[in-house]
Structure 1
């Protein structure tokens, strides 16, 4: 035991400068990630500012029960969140992988760089700007979409009064914005591939599609699994900025596009902090359960390799 302590102290002394450099980051981590854990208790109370977190009345699981009661939008916002994130996850794998493979096949360096930049550019656009772009497309009077419909003899659609379209508008907007970023990660993974395997496949007579499906995609599998697991862990989290940037406070679309995060924001102003904390805790627990289950499944598929 003594030797272990001495070894630990020696390690600290030897690398004291490096450890000192870590101190500010550790302080921030403790302040904003660990100390707030005490606020979880608020989810089980009827919180009021006068009595504080630990002095407020204990109500058990009442906040959670109300979230899933008929008087609440709990089931609806959970469904909206899962629907948007599930299809966003599927398309968020297929499209970036396809983009990465296509760009990787470009042999002209200048064209390749231009293609990479064009694909990556939407990542830097804020959701407010995306919302403005979508308004220019779907506006009833001046929108591009209605002009196209009229050109083909169809009746214009009042898009901002038709909730049924907006889940998929949001999903496709999210995929468009994030695909370039994800494709860069896949391209980085492809840059580490063993080129001799590709050359051997060419010599054996494999065409381009065969090389993609039987070599490139299987070699991308570990990267796909890691990014998928990270996405699964956040499948119960709705992008607050995305929803508010695209649809704002439109009451007509609210029921179809309100996700858990926007519902928490609305509830915080009307139903109090305890209820909002309970919903946040529900999100975290479900995310933990899902990512753990997905990781175990990934290990079975990927020969024991997972995220953790």
Structure 2
């Protein structure tokens, strides 16, 4: 059953990425470097001062109160100093690019405004400062999110969830599959006596870190009445289910998040909608989604 035309681009795909308003500012990081055009600059060295404004989503850190969900600015300052002190370059423009890359390598940072000051530059007339500022953005990552619901107004819940994902910072919805009907699965297998599911898949381009994206998916679930508490059995009916299936080619397995989703390759209701919008889709470590679905439907898995 189709409640949305297949292969549909979401309206937000043409609208660009929503920037996060949150930022961390680190100013006045100072180190001695040996950068400059003149031989005495490379021989004697001089002070370089760095200001960095990091754009990232701080909501996960505010919710968890855990430094792992944000940028440890003490560690970042050490990394910037090390980058200033290593191999010399001629131009502070080149140094600024190096330092911006250090900032963007931090998980969750999707944009940085970085200024390098060279207050002791060899200028013959009195001056206060000379600086270069660069504004750089991280390349977005393609994420795959599976949606499902078997209680209430299922199609409305899925449509609302897509709109909520489109509003996430640093994120745009690229495509959404048609909605697929499926039988509820319980511990003992498919159970036609339970309310049927409506399922789909959305492709996102996001600058959010995978754990930050997961934080928001869980929040959207809660806003639609989903309870993931320990008292709720795993196979309970759901007002909304959002699973992060894949995040680029990232593989990870820790208590917070496993990527790719460990059971995605076993689920027709994930693989079939995914193929609606990405016929060449692959699951890292598993292979092509088309082949996985064919094997699943052929009973070889």
- Interval of TM-score (by shorter of Structure 1 and Structure 2): under 0.3
So what's the TM-score if we normalise by structure 1? 0.26
Bigger strand fraction: 2
Considering Cα pairs closer than 8 Å and 6+ residues apart, tell me whether 1 or 2 has the greater RCO: 1
Bigger helix fraction: 1
So what's the TM-score if we normalise by structure 2? 0.26
